[in-house]
Amino acid sequence: MSEFEMKMFELEIEGNKDFYAKVLKFIEDLFANYLSFQKVYKQYLLKMKLEERFFPDDKEIKEVRKILERRLNSKTHLITMILKSLSPESSW
């Protein structure tokens, strides 16, 4: 990004401080919620793995565990799509 573009970007931010503050707050809340859901998924997955040790023949536990693992490793979550598109050049 050239010096001129940086200056224009700074001027744009100056004019829209309220908007950018709201956007940053939204992104902050979005990531906080995403991370808390990931934590819940991981805890539930650990619970399922423990139950699977005690009940190795229970197909329902295995299916739930597989679903949770897929959700944790999924690349199609909205948040991962946002992270891919966020870069210093294209973030705004």
Q: What is the pLDDT of residue 81?
A: 65
Average pLDDT, the chain: 79
The residue assigned the tokens 């870069």 is 87
Residue 2's alpha-carbon distances to 8, 11, 86, 88, in angstroms, are 10, 14, 19, 13
Q: Which two tokens stand for residue 82?
A: 């946002």
Q: What is the pLDDT of residue 17?
A: 75
- The answer to whether 20 touches 13, Cβ cutoff 8 Å, is yes
* Tens digits of residue pLDDT in 15-54: 777 777 787 888 888 888 888 888 988 999 999 999 999 9
* Residue 91 pLDDT level (bands cut at 50, 70, 90): low
